Amino acid sequence: MEYLEAFSRICLILPSTIKNKITQIQFAIKAFNNQSYPQKALPYLPLSESDVTELIRLNWSGTSHEELLEIEISKLDHLLCNFRYVVWQNLGIYAILNELLLDEIIKMNFITSPILELASGNGFLASRLSHRKLEVSAVDNGEYIKDTSLENNYYPIIQDDAISYLNKNITNFSTIILCWSPDNDLLDLKILQKIRNQDKSPRFLVIGERKGQTNSAEFWKTAHFTKLHQMLKLNRYFSDFDLYHDRIYFIE
């Protein structure tokens, strides 16, 4: 991947902390290419103030010219900060989860089959749940990954409108998952209203950034969080590796 090659072109002498960030990126992309999430959460990738100070001390780019050194540091920080975008563009994966997190969700019995993932994109999350012997259906209308270079899905996708599919099939599922729903779409609110109208509501898990880049403002105003203690326990397996704050929420 050209993204990984860029690190080898730009990096000469690096502190161990930055080497570890690049190594974790390499491990993560290798995992994605093997159709798996990284085993554990990523470290914080952008350069910290101490990282920059150490790079300057080491004169890592091999130049004594202050302006050139700043340019090289800026290039490195851009590469580190761009990880999520690269994964999305090349692999069609929005949410960067990890295998330990999925194992813990199942161990704590918070998702039960049959499971429905709505707005599932190319089905990467659905494929990882199915790998754990769970019964999973994935639905997507094809809109959310049209801007990526990915042509194939990771899992069989039912191409349908989410609400239309729910209207016909909601009683068939014990758990509904919505992962990285766009912040400019009221789909999440419509799904929540549909779930609340059921006599026996399925569990509803939302993965994203609260009041941030995912899910509509109207949804976050309406959502009621449940299983708060369990949410805190699960979210220890997330990390803020960039400027986004992905978390898992149980909604009712």
Give 160-182 pLDDT, tens digit per residue.
999 999 999 999 999 999 999 99
For the chain, how many structural domains are there in total?
2
Does pLDDT of 40 surpass 70? yes
Proportion of the chain above pLDDT 90, given as a percent:
72
Q: Supply the pTM of this predicted model.
A: 0.92
| pLDDT tens-digit series, residues 10-20 | 756 788 899 99
Last residue of a domain, one of 91, 114, 140: 91
| pLDDT tens-digit series, residues 69-115 | 788 889 999 999 999 999 998 898 989 999 999 999 999 988 999 99
Residue 234 pLDDT: 92
| Model confidence band, residue 151 (pLDDT cutoffs 50, 70, 90) | low
Q: Which amino acid is at 201?
A: S
Residue 148 pLDDT: 58
My answer on whether 58 and 107 are in the same domain is no
My answer on whether 106 and 86 are in the same domain is no
My answer on whether 105 and 78 are in the same domain is no
My answer on whether 107 and 230 are in the same domain is yes
Q: What residues make up the domain containing 56?
A: 2-91
Non-local CB neighbours of 12 within 8 Å, separated by 6+ positions: 60, 61, 62
My answer on whether 74 and 157 are in the same domain is no
Nearest Cα residue to 25 out of 61, 48, 55, 1: 1
Residue 73 pLDDT: 87
Residue 15 pLDDT: 86
My answer on whether 76 and 119 are in the same domain is no
| Model confidence band, residue 149 (pLDDT cutoffs 50, 70, 90) | low
My answer on whether 117 and 237 are in the same domain is yes
